[in-house]
Amino acid sequence: MAALTIENLKKSYGSVKVLKGIDLDIEDGGFLVLVGPSGCGKSTLLNTIAGLEEISGGDIKIGGVSVDGLHPSKRDIAMVFQSYALYPNMTVAKNISFGMEIRGLPKSEIMATINEVAALLQIEDLLGRKPSQLSGGQRQRVAMGRALVRDPQVFLFDEPLSNLDAKLRVDMRTEIKRLHQRLKTTIVYVTHDQIEALTLATKIAVLKDGCLQQAGTPDEIYNNPANMFVASFMGSPSMNLMRAKVSEEAGQFTIEITSGAATALTLPVNGIADLQAYVGKSVMFGIRPEALTDPDGSDKKHGAEIVTRAAVIEVVEPAGSDTFAVARLGGIEAVARLRADAEVEAGQTSSLAFNMTKAVFFDPETELRIR
Amino acid sequence: MSGVSQDNAVTGNRLTRALIYTVLIFFVIYYLLPLYVMVVNSLKPLDEIRGGNLMALPQNWSLQPWRDAWSAAQIGVEPTGLKPYFANSFKIVVPAVILSTIVGALNGYVLTKCRFRGANVVFALLLLSCFIPFQIVLIPAARILGLLGIAGTIKGLILIHFVYGIGFSTLFFRNYYAAFPTELIGAAQIDGATFFQIFTRILLPNSGPIIVVTVIWQFTNQWNDFLFGASFSGFDSTPMTVALNNLVNSSTGVKEYNVHFAGAILAALPTLFVYVVSGRYFVRGLMAGAVKG
Ligand SMILES: Nc1ncnc2c1ncn2[C@@H]1O[C@H](COP(=O)(O)OP(=O)(O)O)[C@@H](O)[C@H]1O
Ligand SMILES: [Mg+2]
């Protein structure tokens, strides 16, 4: 177990800059999730930590010691690959023991370790099989087993669940979380699935085009996004983002959402001091679906600032536990999350409650947060 | 109505089938006829060939032509038969095939999994070697064999075939390994496997189809080679193909066509054998490459 520190990490392939100076750290025993759209450099970052890719600049420290130039096998890490990367010519037992064999551990110790890990992952019956005779979920377990026997300082997971079907993915997600709680080993976990990120992480790092957008606890990332990209990437359905005009009267900010000929929707805004600079200009107003509800379902606790406005409901999508509604706010489409038994009908006008304490604002040019 | 149209469909089907089979059978005969001629005439006494019809079955079946071709026929100046040359060919081809396959596999590994600057240029140059006509390298090769002191020896021919084979075997293995998951190499590196351990324990055990393809390709090409054999072999390193030529073209005595036929079949047997035994894998290997590549 050890902390991991990444300092100004750069990686380029020829003239293509893939990682553009990443600063990131995770404490000993933490669960760091790297999340971002496909092609943003997550796997590359993980591979540089593993030592499978050389870095072009910066430094990586595991347990305070730089691992620059160290061979992958000497970094005390273990990795689970997206494709699982099981050796097709070896049985499950051999796959798990290959590393120990290479390191020349005694046979009895190898056998004991295999059995221990197989019991932990419930793959005892599979030890004699070849990878081609396993299902996706079983392969995934074997890949985890191979990583577990290394008993490393840091586990590296590269989208380990992305090849599983939806049900299995949820099960394995829980299992990985349980494993982490039990082993308390530092984990760096790559995914493009924001739900996985939110459920597993103690710390999330959002990447885009090789740049770190924001790093923080799941709560910080979700409720305090640093910019529009983070705000729209995390959360499902994603945050409603609408252009709005700012005005001020007697120290009270008001935003006005309007598009085309539709009637404007105005909302009061409190507690965002920097809006002063935007008076008379446009900002991006962001509100998550769950902060846009039917009045009965609104968050009434500790003085949340609830504002109710009428809106035309265009589409109603019952989803079991909730009902999602597509509404027109000043002519702009937005998704609201209502209670399952909320009485709304497509085509009608309904009251919607805006939880303005949860509202966020961004500069439309820089896309950065206005606080 | 429907009954009638169905009938028509079936008849039409039969007709197409008959046509297809006719064409197929025609081609089977077309390709097998030369083999038939060779086999029947290699089993006849000479006067039956002289006196009659090449297509006829032997009246007196005889294995004598085969025995002569193998161990008694006049090749050049010696009445040794093809036997020693058959052995020469094996002594040349087996090491050359093994060496060029191993080096091709190593090249493929390095070119795809240990990317270095200029890897593509190196590969392009190796590829080019597949397309250089044999004639162009004859004189430089003779010079180099001379310098190495192995001109006219089995070793010299092994070297020539080995080097010439590298181009194609590299091409085969490079394309196969290009589709080989790099994550497996990464996993093995993390497991602590060295460069050669990765090669022998991960790559080679998963290269069955492409090894078969390469071995068949190299074996048939090197076994059937005539030009290098004729140019670089000495008195006791002459390969089968050159010996067969000497047998057929020997100017002394009568032309023993039955012995020539038997000799020609003998010369072709090893490649036939390789195809029959591993042809299945050959096709499968080519397909695997095609699908994965
Ligand atoms: N070997 C390579 N050569 C050139 N570009 C590469 C190489 N590997 C990855 N890239 C590029 O780096 C970027 C990040 O890739 P990757 O880290 O795999 O993204 P992801 O976030 O989806 O895991 C991609 O645009 C990809 O095209
Ligand atoms: Mg990736």
Task: List pLDDT tens digits, range A40-77.
Answer: 999 999 999 999 999 999 999 999 999 999 999 999 99
Give contacts of B196 with chain A, Cβ < 8 Å: none
User: Would you place residue A367 in the very low, low, confident or very high pLDDT band (cuts 50, 70, 90)?
Assistant: very high
Question: A140 CB under 6 A from ligand 1?
Answer: no
The per-residue pLDDT for B290 is: 42
Whose atoms come closest to the Cα of A210: which ligand? 1
**Mean pLDDT computed over B256-282:** 87
In degrees and rounded to multiples of 5, residue B39 shows phi and psi of -65, -50
Indicate the average pLDDT of chain A. 93
Distance from CA of A78 to the nearest CA of B (A): 7
For residue B99, what is the DSSP state?
H
Q: Secondary structure of chain A in the HEC alphabet?
A: CCCEEEEEEEEEECCEEEEEEEEEEECCCCEEEEECCCCCCHHHHHHHHHCCCCCCEEEEEECCEECCCCCHHHCCEEEECCCCCCCCCCCHHHHHHHHHHHCCCCHHHHHHHHHHHHHHHCCHHHCCCCHHHCCHHHHHHHHHHHHHCCCCCEEEEECCCCCCCHHHHHHHHHHHHHHHHHHCCEEEEEECCHHHHHHHCCEEEEEECCEEEEEECHHHHHHCCCEHHHHHHCCCCCCEEEEEEEEEECCEEEEEECCCCCCCEEEEECCCHHHHHHCCCEEEEEECHHHEECHHHCCCCCCCCEEEEEEEEEEEEECCCEEEEEEEECCEEEEEEEECCCCCCCCCEEEEEEEHHHCEEECCCCCEEEC
Find the radius of gyration of the CA atoms of chain B.
25
Class of domain A240-370: mainly beta
Residue-wise pLDDT for A147-165, tens only, equals 999 989 999 999 999 888 8
Class of domain A4-233: alpha beta
Does B3 lie at the interface with A, CB-CB under 8 angstroms?
Answer: no
The per-residue pLDDT for B47 is: 86
Count interface pairs A-B at CB distance under 8 A. Answer: 55
Euclidean distance between CA atoms A51 and A57, whole angstroms: 13
Instruction: Provide the residue ranges of all domains of chain A, joining segments of one domain with +.
Output: 4-233, 240-370
Residue-wise pLDDT for B196-244, tens only, equals 999 999 999 999 889 988 999 999 999 999 999 999 998 889 999 999 9
User: Would you place residue B5 in the very low, low, confident or very high pLDDT band (cuts 50, 70, 90)?
Assistant: low
User: Would you place residue B284 in the very low, low, confident or very high pLDDT band (cuts 50, 70, 90)?
Assistant: low
Residue-wise pLDDT for B55-78, tens only, equals 888 888 888 999 999 988 888 778
Question: A13 CB under 6 A from ligand 1?
Answer: yes
Question: Which of A81, A82, A102 lies nearest to residue B192, judging by beta carbons?
Answer: A102
The per-residue pLDDT for A343 is: 85
Residue A300 has pLDDT above 80, yes or no: no
CA of A159 to the centre of ligand 2 (A): 7
Distance from CA of B116 to the nearest CA of A (A): 12
- List A residues 78-97 in contact with B (Cβ-Cβ < 8 A): 78-79, 81-83, 85, 87-89
Residue B281 has pLDDT above 80, yes or no: no
> For a pLDDT cut of 90, what percent of chain B falls above it?
59
Question: A37 CB under 6 A from ligand 1?
Answer: no
Helices assigned H by DSSP within chain B: 2-42, 46-51, 64-67, 83-113, 119-131, 134-148, 154-178, 182-190, 195-197, 208-224, 227-232, 240-249, 257-292
Euclidean distance between CA atoms B76 and B66, whole angstroms: 18
Closest B-chain CA to A148: B191
Give contacts of B181 with chain A, Cβ < 8 Å: 83, 85
Distance from CA of A302 to the nearest CA of B (A): 52
Domains along chain B? 2-74 (no CATH), 75-292 (1.10.3720.10)
